[in-house]
Structure 1
């Protein structure tokens, strides 16, 4: 039973990677959507607990303050990272999420790279380069799924 968390800064490619994994037939949850994140910026803990208790194989993405409370329920925690200028470029042109389009958002992202990304790196099992082609990243996550299912 594999449960994988994909985390990282805004613009790292989490949603794009999840879309590819979903296209390949994997069960995915992007916690940026469908009210997984509460107004205080944390995951809805009872809802996340129920999800992780009920799904056999699942790939979840998100970056929230309380995600560490759930690390022990994931087989692998993947940090998807990219240089800050790549992050800024991606968030400034994306159409599926307005966060990152303003200068204030971009300043916040730059600060999060300095303050939050090191914490994510410390909690991650594996770091993947978000600049790699999406099919390669999806292949890597699929290898993690297979390895987790075999243990």
Structure 2
């Protein structure tokens, strides 16, 4: 099984991309939902046992692709399990527009959350970029983003 992490700041389109990939028949998991994270001193971190179980869910020689989306401080601990790390990015003004107007998730509408995301854009995104095997700027339609990701990830 090929395991692909879709990561990036809030508002870059991780969930939207997962929806598109799922519509195309790929297995997807959004770690923002379900039992994949825990709060540790107010910070959302991946639960190691749940993420490991997810990533080992099929033998390595299986030809399926698993797309997992999320961004947490402890995600680097799971990089050895992943064949690809795809960073979704967008300019700050695009993120502001998306976060303040989105209807699928309330995160980012609060000014403090929006400020936090913009701070992470400066401090965290460069760290994600350094480990990414592909970066896709998501100012294009999601179908094009999916095509770009799938051309990078052999199935």
* 2:11 equivalent in structure 1: 11
Deviates more, 1:127-136 or 1:4-13: 127-136
Normalising by structure 2, we get a TM-score of 0.90
Structure 1 or 2: larger strand share? Answer: 2
CA RMSD of aligned residues (A): 1.1
Deviation >3 Å, runs of 4+: none
> For residue 86 of structure 1, what is the aligned residue in structure 2?
94
Report SS of the residue matched to 1:97: coil
Cα distance in 1 for partners of 2:79, 2:130 equals: 12
Give 5+ residue unaligned stretches, structure 2.
59-63
Total equivalences in the alignment: 147
Give the TM-score of the pair, scaled to structure 1: 0.93
Q: Extract unaligned runs of 5+ from structure 1.
A: none
State the distance in 2 between where 1:35 and 1:100 align.
22
2:135 to 113, 122, 127: 127
How does 1:24-35 map onto structure 2 within 5 Å?
24-35=24-35
1:51 aligns with 2:54: yes
Q: In the alignment, is residue 101 of structure 1 matched against residue 104 of structure 2?
A: no
Residue 95 (structure 1) shift: 1.4
